[in-house]
Chain A
């Protein structure tokens, strides 16, 4: 931790002196669980602090740019959650229809809301949330090429990032504490394996299409070689993502074919978002969402979203404070496990933002991966200062 803080202060000094732009946020988070965890060592509540500064600058009339973004969480009780990560440390070079990015970056591919099957470039920063939307910075050389017939992305990804896991005191973790000190790799290059990825994407009127290919270390660890020992295998993934806008409807689909150990499988997430605009002559928009997920693997090998239905509602108040509320339920159509989630946020003044999150797991089947979180119903309150 001390070394990280030293590195951070050095980067801060270097950043402030060279940056043309500085932004970010500092946030205080309070987490309260409704009951004691499955394991007596797990905490019942926690208060943590996170800091996410970003510096950017450009030269050559904007044809060259750099950016540094760091994420840091201080957590006195869960040493697995106390961590620092470089989300971005990037040189961007524009050369006509080519864009080069060299360094560390975080990116997002895909269209669906409940699960992100196509999004496999970055490792998940799992201690930051179980939705897979917080990710660790990935070293890469990335060339983006614009053509009249579509956009091509070529990525070379040297070096692998291990998934983050909570320590024994942490909540929302597996029953067995993951030992992150000794992961096992199938590749003899271990975490120095060089991965490759490619993507084609194009907009055809109301349709957005993406086709992608990934070859390298599977970001999802398996725990088949020993309790709590992450095992990272190789994989080749071919993926398709589609988004179609038709008036008040937005249709979304992600399909993957993943060739990996122990066996190849297919998975999909697809659904729609239908929006009611200006309900009852107010400024409020209500979006209704429904997505279904399928995983072709055998029972016991599947992820959380195997035969699951997600139904949700998104309220955008369109007020001066940009107030939003999202409520959703994930329902396993075979095992009948349910997970209910509520997320709300609004701005206070010009630079503060308050967030409330609540998640309740109910009727969880012991064979469902969600069973590990059965006692982990929580309420999260966060207040963030943006600058």
Chain B
């Protein structure tokens, strides 16, 4: 028996990733501003973790949510400045930028129509909705984003439980001009079985535009390592035309 003949098959898993993700577009790294990093120490720890994963640039996105995380663009920028300088001192070479993850609630319209809007790469507006029910005004809000001249980027579309008929509903969202940002950890089942099924569906359909880490705490950095060794990670690059590295 010639085992060597079969060896490449087994070794395939260990081949270093052909494509790499340089830019992360979704994370909660700013200290004590939302439910992400609780203090500067944790922020630095998370940044180091992301750097080790091979990222060269992170665009962190704190929550903006009426009555819960009442962040303002100015506040976020101030916090970013502190983080950047602290990171430099800590020897982190990562390029750090900040945008925001807007929650589609009663304050949403006022936020996006304000003069100062936080965008990813200067054009993508990252937003999320309630997980359990689709807001009645969803379509109108998306129209408002487009009208304001931004590209609507839906955060983790695989996590919304109100999406039941995957094919029709995701296609409908795409037709409205919405970009999709899928969480890498969804492929490892970090957000549950349902989110994993939906993430795999989106991957197979080639509907993913951006991949995000959505890092809140250390554990999520650890699980990202596991995703990188999985075959699905390579498939993500094969099936989708990912825009991460264009930023």
Q: Do A and B bind each other?
A: no
